[in-house]
């Protein structure tokens, strides 16, 4: 059984889903939340079980947290996606990398588009900081579909993007 809780953030209502392993999904948008509700038919709101993850997100949005230490429950996915997600977690707070730099970091420099697809499939935005990946010229491309406004807000919060 999966549980969830929600918190109000500058991005709107953010929802965190937990399973027996750890945080398994983060919904940044109502569309994300609808998809998660279809995937998990037995979701129950349980603030106590989600307390640590929600607290760390609150600290992040208030500028008091730069790294997360909650357990993450990643889906059984391709090893390629897992390598991309691991590389994303290595991007320091307040810094960005291009899709090409991530492709090179995982040893597959020609896989720029595939890195973009893995970024898009990231089930744990913010915890796995796909918002820190930008186009090769530094442009804000592809976040939560076309929600580059969310990416911009997170990068501004981290000081990686001028106001």
For the annotated catalytic residues, the residue numbers are 130
Nearest to 100 by CA among 144, 135, 125: 135
Q: Pairing mode, if any, of strands 3-9 and 133-134?
A: unpaired
CB 112 within 8 A of CB 152: no
Residues 6+ apart with CB under 8 A from 34: none
Q: Which H or E element spans position 148? A: helix 148-157
Q: What tokens does 150 get?
A: 């969310």
Q: How far is CA 43 from the centre of its chain?
A: 20
Token pair 């079980």 in the structure block, residue: 49
Can you state the angle between helices 79-89 and 112-120, rounded to 10 degrees?
80
Separation between Cα atoms, residue 18 and residue 145, nearest integer Å = 23
């Amino acid at each position: 059984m999966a549980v969830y809780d929600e918190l109000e953030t500058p991005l709107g209502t953010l929802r965190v889903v937990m399973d027996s392993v750890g945080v398994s999904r983060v919904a940044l948008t109502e569309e994300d939340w609808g998809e998660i509700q279809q995937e998990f038919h037995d979701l129950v709101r349980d603030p106590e079980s989600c307390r640590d993850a929600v607290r760390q997100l609150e600290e992040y949005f208030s500028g008091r947290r730069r790294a997360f230490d909650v357990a993450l429950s990643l889906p059984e996915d391709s090893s390629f996606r897992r390598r991309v997600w691991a590389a994303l977690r290595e991007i320091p707070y307040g810094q960005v990398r291009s899709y090409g730099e991530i492709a090179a970091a995982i040893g597959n420099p020609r896989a720029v588009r595939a890195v973009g697809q893995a970024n898009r499939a990231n089930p744990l935005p913010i915890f796995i900081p796909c918002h820190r990946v930008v186009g090769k010229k530094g442009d804000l491309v592809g976040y939560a579909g076309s929600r580059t406004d969310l990416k911009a807000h997170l990068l501004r919060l981290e000081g990686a993007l001028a106001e």
